[in-house]
Amino acid sequence: MKQVFKKPHALCDVPLHYCPGCTHGIVHRLVAEVIDELGIEGTTIGVAPVGCSVFAYDYFNCDMVEAAHGRAPAVATGIKRTNQDNIVFTYQGDGDLAAIGTAETVHAAARGENITVIFINNAIYGMTGGQMAPTSLPGQITQTSPYGRNTETQGFPIRVSEMLSTLDGPAYIERVAVDCVKNINQAKKAIKKAFTCQVEKKGFSLVEVVSTCPTNWGLSPEEAMKWLQENMLPYYPLGVYCDKL
């Protein structure tokens, strides 16, 4: 019988710990498929963040390094600089990338560091139990914004893709979502382009994936997808923000 669907080689054959309906799993698979298709597993080094995807080092079959919270772009820089022919990617949440690691993110982008950043924007701190993230929406209820994010005292969400695209360093930035088949297919294309960008030594690439955290949003997986579509997509428009390829 012809096999039409199988686990990508770049994904380890282990159960993932993510909650039901969590989109981390989808994005892992897309990254692994791209690594397979580009044939780069043997030269790829991934950097796992601190966040729900911390165990990514056990999920990807390529060499993996676990970074301190927010420091993945700096760690990736250190790895990349030792061998420019290796492919180095980070996989980071919004707290990791856009709060504690803002400096590392902005400066890796500004340097045009030839790495690929996969950025999971789920508008919340998933791992620590649902606190307000730099990307939480105005009015969004979280553990640390129990009355809804008050922009007067808690400020405004950061649109990372837009912000970074004002820099000269990045080569490719796109925001995608994984809420429906069409968008998942687009997300895969974007991730592939981002890695290709690195393979071709074009410089910094980032794919922001608008994602869900049903557990900490207090919604069912289905409701979470709907909430993403109705609330996140208007605030975080999908599209290409920078493309020098």
Partner 1 sequence: MAEKVLLKGNEAIAEAAILAGCRYFFGYPITPQTEISAYMAKRMPKIGGVFLQAESEISACNMVYGAAAAGARVMTSSSSPGISLKAEAISYIAGADLPAVVVNIMRAGPGLGGIQPSQSDYHQATKGLGHGDYKMIVLAPASVQEIINLTAEAFDLADFYRMPVMILGDGTLGQMMEPVTFELPEGRKLPEKTWATNGTKMEREHNVVNSLYIQPDILEKIVTERNKKYQQIEETETKYEAYRMEDAEYMITAYGSTARIAKNAVDELREQGIKAGLIRPITLWPFPKEAYKQYVGQVKAILSVEMCLGQMVDDVKLAVESKVPVHFYGRWGGNIPYPNEIIEKMKEIVGGIA
Q: Using CB under 8 A as the criterion, which residues of the chain lie in contact with partner 1 when the complex forms?
A: 12, 41-45, 47, 54, 57-58, 60-68, 71, 74-83, 86, 103-104, 106-107
The Cα 28–Cα 48 span in angstroms is 12
> How far is it, in rounded angstroms, from Cα 26 to Cα 107?
28
Q: How far is the CB of 120 from partner 1 (least distance, A)?
A: 18
Answer for which of 18, 91, 172, 195 binds ligand SF4 (CB under 6 A) is 18
The number of residues making up the chain comes to: 245
Tell me the C-alpha distance between 77 and 137, whole Å: 31
Cβ-contact 38, 44 below 8 angstroms: no
Does 197 bind ligand TPP (CB under 6 A)? Our answer is no
Least distance to partner 1 from the beta carbon of 106, Å?
Answer: 8
Smallest gap from residue 232 Cβ to ligand TPP (A) = 13
**What residue ranges in the chain does DSSP mark as E strands?**
44-48, 63-66, 87-93, 116-121, 172-177, 205-210, 239-243
129 binds, among ligand TPP, partner 1, Mg ion, none (CB under 5 to 8 A by kind): none
Rounded distance between C-alpha atoms, residue 95 and residue 84, angstroms: 28
Contacted entry of ligand SF4, Mg ion, partner 1, none for residue 94, CB cut-off 5 to 8 Å set by kind: Mg ion
List contacts with ligand TPP (CB under 6 A). Answer: 50-53, 69, 93-96, 120, 122, 124-128, 133
Which residues sit at the interface with ligand SF4, rule CB under 6 A? 18-19, 22, 24, 52, 122, 126-127, 213-216
